[in-house]
Amino acid sequence: MKNCQSLLDKEVINIRDGCRMGCVCDIVVNVKLGTVAYIIVPIDGGFFSFSQKKKQYVINWCNVVQVGDDVILVDVCIADVIKICEDKDAK
């Protein structure tokens, strides 16, 4: 992998079920080790999603199977990687 920036906007596909999870929007880096710790993929709530709580997939780097030119393949149980975060901009 050339750099962390190259991971952004790549589509993430779960090899367990072939599900397209979305595109990487953020990366969490372990500063001490200088390695990627997690990739973050937002869950699209759809047009009528007005909740202040947003869901996202937080995928541990050890679950990444392959990084291609346009796609990242992961092996995860969906229920284990869904996280809910507060939208700090919503009021």
Residue 45 lies in a domain: yes
Residue 31 lies in a domain: yes
Return d(Cα 29, Cα 58) in angstroms, integer. 13
CATH of the domain at 73: 2.30.30.240
Give the range of the structural domain holding residue 80, as residue numbers without chain letter: 4-86
The CA-atom distances, in angstroms, between 48 and each of 20, 44, 57, 59, 79 are 21, 10, 20, 26, 23
Residue 82 lies in a domain: yes
Give how many domains the chain has, as a whole number: 1
Residue 42 lies in a domain: yes
Return d(Cα 33, Cα 75) in angstroms, integer. 23
pLDDT at residue 91, as a whole number: 42
- Per-residue pLDDT reduced to its tens digit, 30-74: 999 999 999 999 997 655 555 556 889 999 999 999 999 999 999
- Cα torsion 27, 20, 59, 57: sign: positive
Residue 91 lies in a domain: no
Residue 69 lies in a domain: yes
